[in-house]
Chain A
Amino acid sequence: MNKKKKIGGLRRLFEISIVIIIGCICAITRSAAAAAAKDDQFLLLLGVSPQDEDYYKGLLSSPSSTIKCKDGSFKFSTSQLNDDFCDCPDASDEPGTSACPNGKFYCKNAGHIPFSLYSSRVNDGICDCCDGSDEYDGKVKCPNTCWEAGKVARERLKTKIATYQQGVTVRNRLVEQAKLAIAKEEAELSKLKNEEKILKGLVEQLQERKEQIEKAEEKERLQKEKEDKERKEAEEANLKEKQNGEQVESSEADALKNDIHDKIGEQVESSEADALKNDIHDKIGLLGDSSSSQDVMDGHGDSESEAQHGEFDVKEESPIGDVKPLQEDSLLHATEKEEQLTVDGQPGLDTGNQAEVEEDNSESLSKEELGRLVASRWTGEKTEQQTEEVSSTKDKNHGTEEEDAYGEEYSSYDSEEDDHRYDNDDGDNEDQMDDFGGEDHDDSSPSYKSETDDEPDLPAEPSWLEKIQKSVRRIFQAVTFFQTPVDKSEAARVRKEYDESSAKLSKLQSRISSLKQKLKHDFGPEKEFYSFYGQCFENKQNKYVYKICPFKQASQVEGHSTTRLGSWEKFEDSYKVMQFLNGDKCWNGPDRSLKVKLRCGLNNEVTDVDEPSRCEYMALVSTPALCVEEKLKELQDKLDMMNKEQPTSHDEL
């Protein structure tokens, strides 16, 4: 019903306009003339803004007076003002008609906000000014809607002002808190740095001692080995005929194993373990972008967060027996994966190879596979999707349900990995691979969350450092020199003390680095964004959850799959926009990126997420941090003005 009415209305409107086109004679000039007779002054100054009234004054005195166009290029007379012919290139002679293309028409809009229209809107049959003043040639009748529209606008403005009023208070509190917190953290940092210096010295001493002990032990061990060997050789000589070769082999193998075991044991215990760790970290850093490496950095040396990373556990704690097979396994694994990458179509990454794959394989594809493959050229739905489709259609009937390209892309990503897991009954390795692939970004959030609450991990009382100092002093006092054979209990005590101290040192250093990292950030001119640190804002849109973590990264999560929309870049547009760059690569497009527009609001929340251009996201976040006092004043002034300019009567036209 409604629809028909609308169409009918539209048609009627159209018919009317045709009648008008056919019926009225030179509407513009005629009505202009008629109006001129009625109200010269009104017509002459049609479309003139109050600021400009002075400029036209000179023309109102007599019909023969002239003034210069605003740009000084030309002179025009009273009769040329609003005569529907453009004389001034800058449109100054035609403020009230459409004759000059660059002109502006001022509508008073009493009761609402005055507005300057492009002159192309004047007498074009469409009501633009709420007071209807832009349509005066009689083609259409525009009702004055300023009062109603103004009322709505005023109400909206009032609400906004109320929000700002509260928001400004919240913001002030935030700013206060931030300043205090930052001061506290800076103090802590300088304290920690001091402690670090002391502790480092102790650890170095301990290490030195420990190495001495170990050297002595090694010497002893070699001596013992030599003796053993001599003894063994003697025995062997005796038993040579009785023993078979197998036994020899096995005992040699044992010895070899022990040997390796010992060596690795040393490494793990010695500082080389750290080196190894660092090495691994570096590699991870290389692999990922700044954000993932930052995550790793944050975790670096922090045993708490490391414990959450499976691979570090393995490295630090694994005895030699575990390390070797792991290497073999993952080597094998990687080869497998490489094969899949090239044969199956490059999970998630290689579209470049797709062409080749297509050329190679398209002939053997089923009709449907081929169709999907070709369609993907235009859509950019990734090859692994096709691959997935392919494999799934081979096994089962694939649903034809249409899904968003992203949905398919990432769900297939998931299923592919799932398959992978099933293929290789080696969950640990798989996880590790994932971490190396830098894909499982969810993992990074716990580690970074820990930052905010890792403070209590360090002993709160200052006496802890003294305690250590004391006990170390004791050690050095007790054992000023050592002799062979090494005193076992003494050696153990040194080792334990060393282990404990260096663990504490690394904890301390981690805290220092995370504090440094944090304080390095730009929290805004008044530190009003300090509270954003360590926070994430989430928003659910259909099947996606958008997660925006300022100073960190932003991601789009669907089920178990996460797409990185970008890592923190900076504030832009005088702290009204947060920019996240270098997210996951888009097929045939840019790296994903996210712009977050900030608005004043009472809570920190994501109000909207959008993808205006493929892979370029845009989010709206409301936050009290944006509720600035100056803006509040501006809004109040605007409201005052609107209240002032109420029309005297409602039916002016």
Chain B
Amino acid sequence: MKKSPNLIFHILFLLLLISPSVFSWKKDEFRNCNQTPFCKRARSRKPGSCNLIATEVSISDDGDLIAKLIPKTQENNESQDAPVEVDSKPLLLTVSVYQDGILRLKIDEEQSLNPPKKRFEVPDVILDEFLSKKLYLQRLSEEKIDNDLGFSSVVYLDGDYEGVLRHDPFEVFVRERGNGKRVLSINSNGLFDFEQLREKKEGDDWEERFRSHTDTRPYGPQSISFDVSFFGADIVSGIPEHATSLALKPTSGPGVDGFSEPYRLFNLDVFEYIDESPFGLYGSIPFMISHGKARGSSGFFWLNAAEMQIDVFGTGWNAGQDKIMMPVDEKRIDTLWMSEAGVVDAFFFVGPGPKDVIRQYTSVTGRPAMPQLFSTAYHQCRWNYRDEEDVFDVDSKFDEHDIPYDVLWLDIDHTDGRRYFTWDKVLFPNPEEMQNKLAAKGRHMVTIVDPHIKRDDNYYIHKEASDNGYYIKDASNRDFDGWCWSGSSSYTDMVNPHIRSWWADKFSYGNYVGSTPSLYVWNDMNEPSVFNGPELTMPRDALHFGGIEHRELHNVYGYYFHMATSNGLVKRGNGKDRPFVLSRAFFPGTQRYGAVWTGDNTAEWEHLRVSVPMLLTLGLTGISFSGADVGGFFGNPEPDLLVRWYQLGAYYPFFRAHAHQDTKRREPWLFGERNTELIREAIHTRYMFLPYFYTLFREANMTGTPVIRPLWMEFPAEEETFSNDEAFMVGNSLLVQGVYTQRAKHVSVYLPGEQSWYDLRSGAAYKGGKRHKFEALEDSVPAFQRAGTIIPRKDRFRRSSTQMGTDPYTLVIALNSSKEAEGELYIDDGKSFEFENGAYIHRHFKFSNGKLTSSNAAPSGAGGNRFSTDCTVERIILLGLSPAPKSALIEPANQKVGVQLGPLTIRHGNSPSFLTIRRPNVRIEDDWTIKIL
């Protein structure tokens, strides 16, 4: 009996090995730059190796500056490492100018020379409205810059800027008019390279192999790369999605350790992604924003949907290179942009402020959609709420514990065998009744609809899609067949507008059986995720409508899917109901179609921490409505972490708790009374600030300015804020600092600016412009209202935001040193598009000279419709006013009301020590003044 123990030991040993941590990010499964030929090539190129010069520079009939890029004739051809391509044809360069200081640069092969294929340009991202803002160039001036032999062509930009095309060597930049200071440039380091399409020759091996996958690459190499320089920049940020810091760390140059891979933009479904990595995640936005104390902000956007890799160079990266054409004294950040395919379609945004850059960027790609009010409240999700009973149980427990929530989510297992648009007949026999039951309490539901369609002939979606040829094809032109949740699956070709329209129709109440008006949608896996594909996604040689290769549009696929779904919900409600669709993949323009979240994060403190820079970055790149899974998707958060996550998540623009099916249940009431209380408090905080959040969503909708912002967006001249991504601003009035360590005793918070900050909990004032050390309180993360602001709140809590509609407001006025403050409030019906026709209320509050004035902030003649409400103001709290007045006078009613001491938030019953105007009961939509007597 000797070997039985052996076996036993073996089994025990294997048992020991079973632990979740064994599963983690599978680095080998994804390509790094060295395994990606175009990236490797571009990275190894030396500064100044571009030998293109601009010729035939002129103004076209369309009012653009056009030129041809040709290789410079090689008089001194000593550099053997850059052999000149004999068959290199001239490239066509186009510079267009738009209102608000936007320069657009396009470089493509010249179609008149009949390249083997038309290179892909991403449709449906740039707004028609933007195109109509083009300025027709009349003339260009020529000048000599520095000691150039050749000329440079200069065009006028809107505002105080000029666009410059330097001919030899070729370079395009934007500069300030007058002083000639550069803002933003391309090819200043001479790294530009454009692989032109050519016919395959005998002996050409264009195939690329990675692990077990082979990419046939029938069109051969076609990559593009170039350098972009941001002048006067202390930091660059943007290019989501990466789980890393807000200010992008250098990836190349001296002193780069750990971050030696470029930032990758390639939409991928990464299992258990890690924080602090330049690795590409679910979405891609090739838009970078710079910021510096000296000048402010500028932005660069490359509209290109192929795989992209971006290097940020550390200072001194090009030391010893003599071919650089830049002034050496400039403080700047150089970057290298590399893409596998497509064309150069680049936008230069001059700023000069951070908000200006985002306004300029979102004027091209669109402003964030106005969300429904309910979707800005709290969402409860889990993979999976198993059946109707489970749903009702969770729903009623929220009521039992007096915790509000607005939306309950159903993940993949609510369907009949992961056939989306269907219901599991056993688990969800009466979906309509279920939704209606929740809707009766003003609550909504969300179901998941993913792009992988189960290949089952009895499944109507598959039947229609395969019969009509709506699927993406593989390289041999058969319906692509990949593996995902539903097993063997195909993917509808959302690039085709006709197919998008077909898809949108699937959401009608008639087609989506079991759906009701209170049901909204979640798009997951739309990178697209293909479990058995290369890097867990679709092969690059798969074919789309019009013969477009998947490689050319990979990053935009999820966007079209999101768009089609969102359009479906608009259609469903006859254009009257704002859609709500959450997407995991994203691309420039996603902000027009709905919210995104940061995918499958993990219940770890570091993931809590990294959620802030990730969401701030999304906001900087137009996607304001974003969140991270509260609690962490994978793993079981310890109660401390879960509570801190709720406390921080309450300030995420999109506030949803979610968990993997293998995790323990973690609904708010499962961690003991105290933790339930703390989580309830955190969720209540969100509900209290809903009017403020909704106002911020409207601001984003109007200007692109994100709901949550880096500190430097509000305090652009304070260097101390540039690298701070642990704290953030909610609008311009609130500063929130997360707590990112277990059982933290103290939190250090930098409060920027010259004005004071009022602690949201205690009401105590703290000086700005310095770092404070606070005791870490169990019951909230540090949050402050900035002096000089007025925040509208609703302090009454209901089951969901729906019941808060007629509840009265509380205004909190935090006075600055000159006893003044300002704020805004936006209200509409919370769900329809009527606000676009003027059916909204926009108030401006101003306190000065001891008098609060509410005035209309809506532009006159903003559409003919009106929105009205009976809501009143029940309480006005004044912070920073002394001495204490006894009463106040309301005009025009000429009515006196009492001023007394009251608590800052009535929930906490903290000592009543703040001046409170009691029951002014003025209507929120009216003009009025309240004078402190």
Q: Are B536 and A90 in contact (CB under 8 A)?
A: no
List B contacts of A653 (CB < 8 A). Answer: none
Q: Are A124 and B799 in contact (CB under 8 A)?
A: yes
Evaluate whether A613 and B664 lie within 8 angstroms (CB atoms) in the complex, with A120-B798, A341-B10 already known: yes
Contact with A along B146-185 (1 / 0, CB 8 A): 0000000000000000000000000000000000000000
Kindly specify which of B11-19, B691-699, B816-824 makes contact with the partner chain: B11-19
Chain B: CB-nearest residue to A363: B212
Q: Are B18 and A124 in contact (CB under 8 A)?
A: no
List A contacts of B442 (CB < 8 A). Answer: 125-126
- Pick from A90, A355, A371: contact of B26, CB below 8 A: A355
- State the CA gap A349–B482 with chains docked (Å): 28
Q: Are B870 and A587 in contact (CB under 8 A)?
A: no
Contact with B along A261-299 (1 / 0, CB 8 A): 000000000000000000110010011000000000000
- State the CA gap A373–B484 with chains docked (Å): 10
Kindly specify which of A2-10, A485-493, A499-507 makes contact with the partner chain: A2-10
Q: Are A349 and B271 in contact (CB under 8 A)?
A: no
User: Nearest Cβ distance between residue B490 and chain A, in whole angstroms?
Assistant: 13
- Pick from A139, A350, A370: contact of B531, CB below 8 A: A370
Answer whether residue A365 sits at the interface, using C-beta atoms and an 8 A cutoff: yes
Answer whether residue A37 sits at the interface, using C-beta atoms and an 8 A cutoff: no
- State the CA gap A198–B664 with chains docked (Å): 56
User: Nearest Cβ distance between residue B726 and chain A, in whole angstroms?
Assistant: 30
Q: Are B661 and A338 in contact (CB under 8 A)?
A: no
User: Nearest Cβ distance between residue B241 and chain A, in whole angstroms?
Assistant: 19
Q: Are A371 and B662 in contact (CB under 8 A)?
A: no
Answer whether residue A379 sits at the interface, using C-beta atoms and an 8 A cutoff: yes
Answer whether residue A101 sits at the interface, using C-beta atoms and an 8 A cutoff: yes
User: Nearest Cβ distance between residue B659 and chain A, in whole angstroms?
Assistant: 10
Q: Are A350 and B17 in contact (CB under 8 A)?
A: yes
Q: Are A330 and B903 in contact (CB under 8 A)?
A: no
- State the CA gap A163–B404 with chains docked (Å): 38
Q: Tell me the residues in window 337-363 of chain A with beta carbons closer than 8 Å to chain B beta carbons.
A: 337-338, 341, 346, 349-355, 358-359, 362-363
List A contacts of B433 (CB < 8 A). Answer: 6
User: Nearest Cβ distance between residue B749 and chain A, in whole angstroms?
Assistant: 27
Answer whether residue B439 sits at the interface, using C-beta atoms and an 8 A cutoff: yes
Q: Are A287 and B8 in contact (CB under 8 A)?
A: yes
| Chain B CB within 10 Å, residue with most, of A139, A338, A369, A585 | A338
Contact with B along A1-34 (1 / 0, CB 8 A): 0010011001100000010011011110100000
User: Nearest Cβ distance between residue B448 and chain A, in whole angstroms?
Assistant: 13
Q: Are B7 and A372 in contact (CB under 8 A)?
A: no
- State the CA gap A615–B654 with chains docked (Å): 30
Chain A: CB-nearest residue to B804: A124
Q: Are B918 and A85 in contact (CB under 8 A)?
A: yes
Answer whether residue B833 sits at the interface, using C-beta atoms and an 8 A cutoff: no
User: Nearest Cβ distance between residue A384 and chain B, in whole angstroms?
Assistant: 11
Q: Are A352 and B18 in contact (CB under 8 A)?
A: yes
Answer whether residue A578 sits at the interface, using C-beta atoms and an 8 A cutoff: no
Q: Are A283 and B5 in contact (CB under 8 A)?
A: yes
Interface size on A, residues (CB 8 A): 91
Q: Are A25 and B211 in contact (CB under 8 A)?
A: no
User: Nearest Cβ distance between residue A590 and chain B, in whole angstroms?
Assistant: 7
Kindly specify which of B584-592, B763-771, B906-914 makes contact with the partner chain: B906-914
Interface size on B, residues (CB 8 A): 88
Q: Are B803 and A124 in contact (CB under 8 A)?
A: yes
- Pick from B436, B600, B870: contact of A25, CB below 8 A: B870
- State the CA gap A124–B2 with chains docked (Å): 74
User: Nearest Cβ distance between residue B414 and chain A, in whole angstroms?
Assistant: 13
Q: Are A283 and B14 in contact (CB under 8 A)?
A: no
User: Nearest Cβ distance between residue A400 and chain B, in whole angstroms?
Assistant: 5
Q: Tell me the residues in window 72-86 of chain A with beta carbons closer than 8 Å to chain B beta carbons.
A: 73-74, 83-86
Chain A: CB-nearest residue to B665: A613
Answer whether residue A245 sits at the interface, using C-beta atoms and an 8 A cutoff: no
Answer whether residue A155 sits at the interface, using C-beta atoms and an 8 A cutoff: no
Q: Are A585 and B4 in contact (CB under 8 A)?
A: no
Q: Tell me the residues in window 314-356 of chain A with beta carbons closer than 8 Å to chain B beta carbons.
A: 315, 327, 330-331, 333-335, 337-338, 341, 346, 349-355
- State the CA gap A363–B869 with chains docked (Å): 64
Answer whether residue B689 sits at the interface, using C-beta atoms and an 8 A cutoff: no
Q: Are B483 and A338 in contact (CB under 8 A)?
A: no
Answer whether residue A433 sits at the interface, using C-beta atoms and an 8 A cutoff: yes
Q: Are A351 and B517 in contact (CB under 8 A)?
A: no
User: Nearest Cβ distance between residue B898 and chain A, in whole angstroms?
Assistant: 10
Answer whether residue B317 sits at the interface, using C-beta atoms and an 8 A cutoff: no
Q: Are A90 and B909 in contact (CB under 8 A)?
A: yes
Q: Are B18 and A585 in contact (CB under 8 A)?
A: yes
Evaluate whether A368 and B26 lie within 8 angstroms (CB atoms) in the complex, with A73-B909, A126-B440 already known: no
- State the CA gap A375–B432 with chains docked (Å): 31
- State the CA gap A548–B833 with chains docked (Å): 57
User: Nearest Cβ distance between residue B639 and chain A, in whole angstroms?
Assistant: 15
List A contacts of B803 (CB < 8 A). Answer: 124-126
User: Nearest Cβ distance between residue B922 and chain A, in whole angstroms?
Assistant: 11
- Pick from B432, B439, B660: contact of A3, CB below 8 A: B432
List B contacts of A257 (CB < 8 A). Answer: none
Q: Are A375 and B870 in contact (CB under 8 A)?
A: no
Q: Are B3 and A334 in contact (CB under 8 A)?
A: yes
Q: Are B485 and A355 in contact (CB under 8 A)?
A: no
Evaluate whether A355 and B22 lie within 8 angstroms (CB atoms) in the complex, with A120-B799, A371-B532, A587-B662 already known: yes
Answer whether residue A152 sits at the interface, using C-beta atoms and an 8 A cutoff: no
Q: Are A612 and B532 in contact (CB under 8 A)?
A: no
List B contacts of A349 (CB < 8 A). Answer: 11, 14-15, 18
List B contacts of A362 (CB < 8 A). Answer: 211-212
Q: Are B875 and A85 in contact (CB under 8 A)?
A: yes
Answer whether residue A374 sits at the interface, using C-beta atoms and an 8 A cutoff: yes
- State the CA gap A3–B434 with chains docked (Å): 12
List A contacts of B918 (CB < 8 A). Answer: 85
User: Nearest Cβ distance between residue B787 and chain A, in whole angstroms?
Assistant: 26
Evaluate whether A353 and B8 lie within 8 angstroms (CB atoms) in the complex, with A86-B906, A126-B440, A331-B2 already known: no
Q: Are B536 and A378 in contact (CB under 8 A)?
A: no
Q: Are B903 and A334 in contact (CB under 8 A)?
A: no
List B contacts of A588 (CB < 8 A). Answer: 20, 23, 662
Q: Are B661 and A372 in contact (CB under 8 A)?
A: no
Evaluate whether A374 and B531 lie within 8 angstroms (CB atoms) in the complex, with A21-B870, A24-B870, A349-B18 already known: yes
Answer whether residue B663 sits at the interface, using C-beta atoms and an 8 A cutoff: yes
- State the CA gap A609–B456 with chains docked (Å): 33
Q: Are B906 and A371 in contact (CB under 8 A)?
A: no
User: Nearest Cβ distance between residue B9 and chain A, in whole angstroms?
Assistant: 9
Q: Are A98 and B18 in contact (CB under 8 A)?
A: no
- State the CA gap A101–B5 with chains docked (Å): 64
- State the CA gap A334–B10 with chains docked (Å): 10
List A contacts of B3 (CB < 8 A). Answer: 327, 330-331, 333-335
- Pick from A25, A89, A590: contact of B906, CB below 8 A: A89
Q: Are A612 and B907 in contact (CB under 8 A)?
A: no
Answer whether residue B796 sits at the interface, using C-beta atoms and an 8 A cutoff: yes
Chain B: CB-nearest residue to A329: B3
User: Nearest Cβ distance between residue B418 and chain A, in whole angstroms?
Assistant: 7
List B contacts of A614 (CB < 8 A). Answer: 661-664
Q: Are A286 and B8 in contact (CB under 8 A)?
A: yes
Q: Tell me the residues in window 313-366 of chain B with beta carbons closer than 8 Å to chain A beta carbons.
A: none
List B contacts of A63 (CB < 8 A). Answer: none
List B contacts of A18 (CB < 8 A). Answer: 829
Answer whether residue A586 sits at the interface, using C-beta atoms and an 8 A cutoff: yes
- State the CA gap A83–B20 with chains docked (Å): 56
Q: Beyond the given A85-B875, A120-B796, could you list 4 further A-B residue pairs with CB under 8 A, ordered by the A residue number?
A: A327-B2, A364-B212, A365-B212, A614-B663
17 interchain pairs, CB-CB under 8 A: A10-B440, A10-B517, A26-B923, A84-B874, A85-B918, A99-B874, A124-B799, A287-B11, A334-B10, A338-B7, A349-B14, A353-B14, A355-B23, A367-B482, A371-B487, A380-B662, A614-B663
Q: Which residues of A contact B (CB under 8 A)?
A: 3, 6-7, 10-11, 18, 21-22, 24-27, 29, 71, 73-74, 83-86, 89-90, 98-102, 118, 120-121, 124-126, 139, 279-280, 283, 286-287, 315, 327, 330-331, 333-335, 337-338, 341, 346, 349-355, 358-359, 362-365, 367-375, 377-380, 400, 402, 433, 436-437, 585-590, 612-614, 616
